[in-house]
């Protein structure tokens, strides 16, 4: 989901990091509570007593993010193809018009599924801990070719639908992606980086007879090849002229012709069944992306799905003339509870607005959260059962990043707007007597409050460093220096603070004494490790890992020394965990 789309979902307010002054966009979505502590503790070697002390975990998740839709090539009403809450994309209809193949993350990672053309009869086709994607039908609608990461890099496989038997077609150390069957079923197009950059290749249907079709410089990429219905031409995406545009060439790689030319990005071409038109994705006109259509010679370009704040991409043309595509237009945000296996899901506070940043009360009976249901960000509380939703703040500015005092009598939060942070505030747990503890300078970047276990100090991020201030605002102390640090959580004994930092390309988890000093790095994975939260018994740290910009984030647990990392299987991306105390 694009950053602009998130801004719309959040009422044009700040995003889930809720950082004033220096905003970094991250995943914002549904607040979910799940009782996974027993399985997680066992996986990390914990005892039943550890589970009892830690209770449940609240976190932020995105439901109905990327979903499957269909639209007529001339525009008009957009119809959903599935009703799942999980991330689903790349819908492709079979040549016999009876079924649709697609990718779904409903089981925790990307797998190939097939359903009837009317959306019924969903069947899982692949099952592997790695990701499977890019499905393409054979001409007889009996086989599906796809990309898979099960061998450590992206390779191409084919599956027989009758037996679910798999055959690996490529064995390169490079990545092979986006396979597409020729109309007669004899050849397969794909793109690969085996020569150093992404180029388009073709091979026989059994993996033999490999031939390279495009040859660009090392800085350019040719992607998303698509056969014309008669098999004589290939449309593809290339940035050989500076930005991504749609090109077409003969099936042997000759006569390359550019079809689109603008400053926007155009990608993912798909031919109409009669070969007269090409659908493609483009971000021209906005920052999100819409499905466009043009004649096969590049003329008469126009948007099909424009006019709505959503990201529409990955078109494929069905034999009946509809265009299937992926979109985040159905994103649905709500507060829920759920068991570890996904059962018992219940909406706690139904709303069409975003509810984010849930924090358990010290007695584990209520949650404080930020909701945009009033038009801007305000602080609310709700019981663990979903009853008794109560609005605590009613200010023209945004009130965000709340945290409870250890005795449950007060709540700290930040107040500000898109332009600047105003101050750190404290109020009674019923919303009364809100007062400023600390005011910020106009250029300060501020984020993320966390109350110390003894109730004497409040930690927060100030201009990329972790700072603590006495609860009355009398004295502030720097804990970290010279970094890009955020989202802190105290150890239960108050001696250490776990936080995230961005020293290089990725965010990782670190720990430091609450008095400052030497910093110890706990994670160093590819991708972003964020939102650490210490368990009430001090034995575990929960955090999220992945690429939130691409809606790829998973909740993890680890020991306080960084060992014993264990992913928590959830059907939706998740972030911003918070442990429930159990008295």
Residue 354 tokens read as: 């975003």
Question: pLDDT, tens digit, for every residue of 509-520?
Answer: 999 999 999 999
Cα three-residue angle 333-338-343, rounded to 5 degrees = 115
pLDDT confidence tier of residue 347, bands split at 50, 70 and 90: low
Reported as a single tens digit per residue, the pLDDT across 459-483 is: 999 988 999 999 988 888 999 987 7
Q: Find out whether 57 and 34 touch, Cβ atoms under 8 Å.
A: yes
Q: What are phi and psi of 7, to 5 degrees?
A: -60, -40
Residue 355 to residue 333: CA distance in whole angstroms: 7
Q: At 4, is the pLDDT very low, low, confident or very high (cuts 50, 70, 90)?
A: very low
pLDDT bin (cut points 50, 70, 90) of residue 488 is confident
pLDDT for the residue numbered 408: 95
Residue 120 has pLDDT above 90, yes or no: no
- Residue 452 is classified by DSSP as -
Q: What is the pLDDT of residues 522-531, one digit of tens each?
A: 998 888 999 9
Q: Where in the chain is the domain with CATH 2.120.10.30?
A: 3-63+332-579, 67-327
pTM above 0.85, yes or no: no
Q: Which residues contact 553 (CB under 8 A, 6 or more apart)?
A: 27, 528, 544, 545, 546, 547, 573, 574, 575
Nearest to 146 by CA among 117, 108, 103: 103
> Pairing relation of β-strands 79-80 and 67-71?
antiparallel
Domain 3-63+332-579 homologous superfamily, CATH: TolB, C-terminal domain (2.120.10.30)
- Tell how far CA 68 is from the center of its chain: 16
CA distance 151 to 453: 46
End-to-end CA distance of the chain: 39
Of 505 and 392, more confident: 392
Q: Is the pLDDT of residue 497 over 60?
A: yes
566 token code pair: 């264990």
| Tens digit of each residue's pLDDT (9 = 90 or more) over 172-227 | 888 999 999 999 999 999 999 988 889 999 999 999 999 999 998 777 899 999 99
Q: Which two tokens stand for residue 491?
A: 């150890």
How much is the average pLDDT of 235-247?
93
What is the DSSP annotation of 486-546? Answer: EEEEE-TTSSEEEEEE-SSSS-EEEEEETT---EEE----SSEEEEEEE-TTSS-EEEEEE
Query: 560: phi > 0 → left, psi -120 to 50 → alpha, else beta; which?
Result: alpha
Strands 312-317 and 323-327: what pairing?
antiparallel
Q: How many angstroms separate the CA atoms of 205 and 184, rounded?
A: 10
Q: How confident is the model at residue 3 (pLDDT cuts 50, 70, 90)?
A: very low
Q: What pLDDT is recorded for position 348?
A: 58
Query: How confident is the model over 418-456, as pLDDT tens digits?
Result: 777 889 999 999 999 999 999 998 888 888 899 999 999
Q: How far apart are CA 193 and CA 199, in angstroms?
A: 6
**How far is it between the farthest Cα atoms of the chain?**
77
- CA 556 to chain centroid, in Å, comes to 15
Confidence tier at 128 by pLDDT (50, 70, 90): very high
* Angle, alpha carbons 412-413-419 (nearest 5°): 155
CATH superfamily of 67-327: TolB, C-terminal domain (2.120.10.30)
> Which residue would you say has higher pLDDT here, 144 or 567?
144
**pLDDT tops 70 at residue 325:** yes
Q: How many CB atoms lie within 10 A of CB 36?
A: 21
- Has residue 253 got a pLDDT over 90? yes
């Amino acid at each position: 989901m694009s950053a602009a789309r998130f801004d719309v979902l959040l009422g044009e307010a700040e995003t889930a990091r809720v950082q004033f002054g220096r905003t970094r966009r991250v995943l914002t979505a549904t607040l979910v509570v799940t009782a996974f502590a027993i399985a997680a503790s066992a996986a990390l070697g914990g005892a039943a007593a550890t589970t009892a002390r830690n209770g449940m975990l609240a976190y932020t998740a995105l439901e109905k993010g990327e979903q499957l839709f269909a639209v007529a090539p001339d525009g008009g009403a957009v119809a959903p193809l599935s009703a799942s809450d999980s991330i689903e994309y790349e819908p492709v209809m079979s040549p016999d018009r009876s079924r649709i193949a697609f990718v779904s993350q409903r089981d925790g990672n990307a797998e190939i599924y097939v359903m009837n053309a009317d959306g019924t009869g969903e069947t899982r086709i692949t099952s592997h801990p790695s990701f499977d994607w890019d499905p393409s039908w054979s001409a007889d609608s009996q086989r599906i070719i796809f990309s898979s990461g099960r061998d450590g890099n992206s390779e191409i496989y084919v599956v027989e639908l009758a037996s679910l038997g798999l055959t690996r077609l490529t064995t390169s150390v490079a990545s092979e992606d986006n396979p597409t069957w020729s109309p007669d079923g004899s050849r397969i197009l794909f793109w690969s980086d085996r020569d150093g950059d992404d180029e388009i290749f073709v091979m026989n249907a059994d993996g033999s007879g490999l031939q390279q079709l495009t040859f660009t410089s090392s800085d350019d990429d040719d992607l998303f090849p698509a056969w014309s219905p008669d098999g004589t031409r290939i449309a593809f995406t290339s940035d050989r002229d500076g930005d991504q545009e749609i090109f077409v060439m003969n099936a042997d790689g000759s006569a390359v012709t550019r079809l689109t030319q603008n400053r926007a990005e155009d990608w993912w071409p798909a031919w109409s069944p009669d070969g007269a038109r090409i659908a493609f994705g483009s971000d021209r006109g906005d920052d999100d992306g819409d499905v466009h259509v043009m004649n096969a010679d590049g003329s008469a370009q126009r948007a099909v799905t424009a006019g709505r704040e959503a990201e529409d991409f990955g078109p494929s043309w069905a034999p009946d003339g509809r265009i299937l595509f992926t979109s985040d237009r159905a994103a649905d945000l709500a507060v829920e509870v759920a068991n570890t296996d996904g059962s018992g899901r219940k909406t706690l506070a139904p709303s069409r607005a975003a509810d984010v940043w849930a924090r358990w009360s010290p007695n584990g009976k209520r949650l404080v959260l930020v909701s945009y249901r009033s038009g801007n960000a305000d602080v609310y509380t709700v019981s663990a059962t979903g009853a008794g939703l109560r609005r605590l703040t009613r200010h023209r500015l945004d009130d965000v990043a709340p945290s409870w005092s250890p005795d449950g009598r007060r709540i700290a939060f930040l107040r500000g707007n898109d332009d600047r942070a105003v101050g750190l505030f404290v109020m009674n747990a019923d919303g009364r007597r809100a007062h400023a503890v600390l005011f910020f300078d106009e250029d300060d970047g501020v984020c993320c409050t966390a109350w110390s276990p003894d109730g004497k100090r409040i930690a927060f991020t100030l201009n990329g460093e972790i700072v603590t201030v006495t609860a009355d605002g009398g004295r502030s102390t720097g804990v970290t220096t010279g970094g890009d640090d955020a989202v802190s959580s105290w150890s239960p004994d108050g001696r250490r603070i776990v936080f995230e930092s961005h020293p290089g390309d990725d965010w990782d988890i670190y720990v430091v004494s609450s008095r400052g000093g030497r910093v110890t790095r706990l994670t160093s994975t590819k991708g972003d490790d964020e939102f650490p939260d210490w368990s009430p018994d001090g034995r575990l740290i929960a955090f999220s890992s992945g690429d939130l910009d691409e809606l790829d984030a998973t909740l993890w647990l680890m020991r306080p020394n960084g060992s014993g990392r264990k992913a928590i299987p959830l059907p939706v991306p998740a972030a911003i965990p918070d442990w429930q105390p159990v008295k």
